[in-house]
């Protein structure tokens, strides 16, 4: 309606140049209104809906977004840095970056950082920064950590090679603050020999072997070996959440104490009194 009125009554009294400038201003105003509508629509979406909107395989091919929302939604209005290892698209130019844009929308105050072995600089925009390099290169990881403001979330969606997953965790996890969340995707490669995994469920070099070690480490205070020295992760992992092909690890101070000594004392006393049945 307004456009019709403008064409009928305003255009005839303006020069061609003035009319074209007025049209451009009108188009810009329309673009601003449309973008505001789009932002309101996106802000009302769940992470799963945003995943579909931006085309990431974290929803559909995988089923990660509902788990991420459960563990990360408390950060939605926080100012921090999220690092995702693996930007997507492999070596293809101008391919990938879908999940970076999803994270940017879900965390409107966060800085989103992506690391990939291939050049993905095309994905850079406001609040999205990319780095090129190996996920197990200490120099690259050191630069990312130094550049980051409050690196609080790490998502390993990189090579999925078990050796790389374990080494990246070893290098990065100690650099994170208490309260940080470290996520490992596509842990199915732990069972695939061609990706460094093993058909042996007791193998010690897979990604899931690392996760199993972390779960045991949660309970290090209950170990009966009095000479056991807790590891860094024993002391600094407070929760491990396992889903199909996704692991979410929470960092914090894992020193809760134990009643192990009293239990052992009561057990030995009962044993001396013959109240413990022989095995």
276 pLDDT exceeds 80? no
Q: Per CATH, the architecture of 45-261 is what? A: 3-Layer(aba) Sandwich (3.40)
Residue 39 has a pLDDT of 67
pLDDT surpasses 50 at 56:
yes
**What's the rounded Cα separation, in Å, for the pair 176 and 154?**
9
The pLDDT, as a whole number, for residue 15 is: 79
160 is annotated as an active-site residue = yes
DSSP annotation of 177 reads P
Domain ranges in the chain? Answer: 2-40, 45-261
Catalytic residue, candidates 62, 98, 160, 164: 160
The mean pLDDT of the chain is 90
Residue 191: per-residue pLDDT: 97
Contact 95, 88 (CB under 8 A): yes
Query: Which stretches within the chain are classed as H helix?
Result: 2-5, 16-43, 47-54, 65-72, 98-106, 138-147, 162-172, 207-218, 232-236, 260-272
Whether 272 shows a pLDDT value over 60: the answer reads: yes
What pLDDT is stored for residue 157 in this prediction? 98
Q: Are 265 and 251 in contact (CB under 8 A)?
A: no
The predicted model scores a pTM of 0.83
Query: What confidence tens digit (pLDDT) does each residue in 89-125 have?
Result: 999 989 999 999 999 999 999 999 999 999 999 999 9
């Amino acid at each position: 309606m307004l456009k019709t009125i403008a064409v009928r009554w305003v255009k005839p009294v303006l020069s061609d140049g003035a009319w074209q400038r007025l049209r451009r201003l009108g188009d810009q105003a329309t673009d601003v209104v449309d973008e505001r509508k789009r932002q309101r629509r996106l802000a009302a979406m769940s992470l799963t809906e945003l995943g579909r909107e931006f085309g990431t395989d974290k929803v559909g091919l995988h089923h990660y977004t509902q788990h991420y929302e459960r563990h990360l939604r408390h950060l939605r209005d926080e100012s921090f840095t999220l690092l995702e290892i693996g930007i997507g698209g492999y070596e293809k130019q101008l391919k990938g970056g879908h999940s970076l844009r999803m994270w940017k929308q879900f965390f409107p105050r966060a800085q989103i950082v992506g690391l990939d072995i291939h050049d993905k600089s095309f994905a850079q925009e406001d609040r999205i920064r990319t780095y090129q390099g190996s996920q197990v290169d200490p120099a690259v990881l050191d630069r990312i950590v130094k550049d980051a403001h409050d690196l609080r979330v790490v998502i390993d969606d990189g090579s999925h090679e078990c050796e790389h997953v374990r080494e990246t965790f070893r290098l990065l996890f100690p650099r994170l603050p208490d309260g940080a969340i470290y996520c490992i995707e596509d842990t199915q490669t732990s069972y695939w020999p061609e990706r460094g995994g093993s058909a042996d469920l007791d193998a010690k070099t897979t990604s899931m072997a690392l996760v199993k070690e972390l779960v045991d480490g949660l309970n290090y205070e209950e170990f009966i070996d009095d000479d056991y020295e807790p590891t860094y992760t024993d002391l600094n992992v407070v929760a491990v959440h396992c889903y199909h092909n996704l692991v979410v690890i929470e960092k914090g101070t894992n020193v809760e104490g134990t009643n192990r000594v009293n239990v052992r004392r009561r057990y030995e006393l009962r044993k001396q009194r013959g109240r413990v049945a022989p095995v």
